[in-house]
A and B are shown apart, each in its own frame.
Chain A
Amino acid sequence: MIDKTHWRLFRFASPATFYPLAGKLVPWFAAVAAVLAAAGLYLGMLRAPTDATQGDAYRIIFIHVPAAWMSMLLYVVMAFWAAIGWAFNARLASVVARAIAPTGALFTFLALWTGALWGKPTWGTWWVWDARLTSELILLFLYGGYLALVSAIDDTRRADRAGALLAIVGSVNVPIIYFSVIWWNTLHQGASVSVTAAPKMASVMLLAMLLMTRAFWANAFAVIFVRTRAIALERDNHAAWANDAVARAPVRQGASS
């Protein structure tokens, strides 16, 4: 039935394969997220010393930076899968893109919220129209625009394609956010951690921040996989695989797969 030379990778492009696999992975991602968050919060809130210049207000960093990183990463991943879904007419890829958008929007909101609560005591203002803050706000609007666009078009696949176009065009904003603190003179500080230079913070603070980033990452995987499963069922509610998956029929995987 299927050409033997087909990429094994495409096996996971089938909802019938992806649905049970994602279901098995979700509890693991959730558990990893909980353990890493507990460790990160323990180090960040209890063990890390008070910052010499910012006092304890700096402790917002342990959620602010992970949320901001995830907001950018998830946008790129969303645009990638949306593009794959469009280019290869891969339905599951489009479903994944749609499943990412609400989580990405949530992390963008959290980055802005925690940033405002950090800005007030350290800068004296909740908000300033600086390049970093403004481009992050635009990211929130891009997520919102994507969600509004795909929900406004009734034809599912047309909605996927329109959303993919918006996501791809909007992805130009991600490097703008990332490099905004270099390209413009911003109130927002430059990167404390980068690939090319030694981190500009104490190692226990850095470790706490990285643990929290991994926790947010694992949390995003768990949530997005559950949402992907939900959307896949909603879309394919007449497909045999969906009925099999829900009924938990004994023939979970056919011998031919």
Chain B
Amino acid sequence: MNWNSAADFFAMGGYGTYVWGAYAVTLACMAVEPVLVVLRHRRARRALGGAPR
């Protein structure tokens, strides 16, 4: 393990803002995109009168 404490980990050696700023936006985008495509697929199924699987 590279870190001594959780605070150490979140500080990222003083680069926390940059590292977590990059990770937070990446995570947000990659979490939202699957939801959007699943909703689009569901809409398409419903438009055909099918089960919204």
A48 at the interface (CB under 8 A from B): yes
Q: How far is the CA of A231 from the CA of B48 in the complex (A)?
A: 13
11 further A-B pairs in the complex, CB-CB below 8 A; given A47-B2, A230-B43: A48-B2, A56-B13, A57-B13, A60-B19, A102-B33, A114-B25, A117-B19, A121-B15, A230-B44, A237-B47, A243-B48
Q: Which residue of B lies closest to A226 (CB)?
A: B37
Give A contacts to B, CB under 8 Å. Answer: 30, 45-50, 55-57, 59-60, 63-64, 67, 102-103, 106, 109-110, 113-114, 117-118, 120-121, 219, 222-223, 226-227, 229-231, 233-234, 237, 242-243, 245-248
Residues on B with beta carbons closer than 8 Å to the beta carbon of A242 = 48
Q: How far is the CA of A106 from the CA of B44 in the complex (A)?
A: 23
Interface: B1 (CB within 8 A): yes
Shortest beta-carbon distance, A93 to chain B, in Å? 19
Interface residues of A, dominant DSSP: helix
CB distance from A105 to the nearest CB of B (A): 10
B24 to chain A, nearest CB (A): 10
* Distance of A106 Cα from B53 Cα, bound (Å): 25
Q: Among B18, B21, B44, B50, which residue has its beta carbon within 8 angstroms of that of A247? A: B50
Would A30 and B34 be within 8 Å (CB), given that A48-B2, A118-B18 are in contact? yes
A166-B16 Cα distance, complex, nearest whole Å: 40
Give the contacting residue for B34; candidates A47, A223, A233; CB below 8 A: A223
CB-contact partner of A55 in B2, B13, B33, under 8 A = B13
Query: Are B15 and A55 in contact, with the CB atoms below 8 A?
Result: yes
Instruction: Please tell me if B7 contacts chain A, counting CB pairs below 8 Å.
Output: no
CA distance A102 to B32 in the complex (A): 13
Contact in complex: B41, A110 (CB < 8 Å): no
Which residues from chain A contact B13 at a C-beta distance below 8 Å? 50, 55-57
A121 near B18 (CB under 8 angstroms)? yes
Query: Does B5 have its Cβ within 8 Å of any Cβ on chain A?
Result: no
- Option from B3, B22, B50, B53 in Cβ contact (under 8 Å) with A63: B22
Chain A residue contacts of B37, Cβ below 8 A: 223, 226-227, 230
What A residues does B33 contact at CB under 8 A? 102-103, 106, 223
The answer for the CA separation of A231 and B41 in the assembled complex, in Å, is 8
Tell me whether A47 and B40 are in contact (CB under 8 A). Answer: no
Given contacts A50-B13, A55-B15, A57-B15, contact A106 B29 (CB under 8 A): yes
B53 to chain A, nearest CB (A): 8
A49 nearest CB neighbor, chain B only: B2
Q: Are B45 and A50 in contact (CB under 8 A)?
A: no
Kindly provide the distance from the CB of A178 to the nearest chain B CB, expressed in whole angstroms: 22
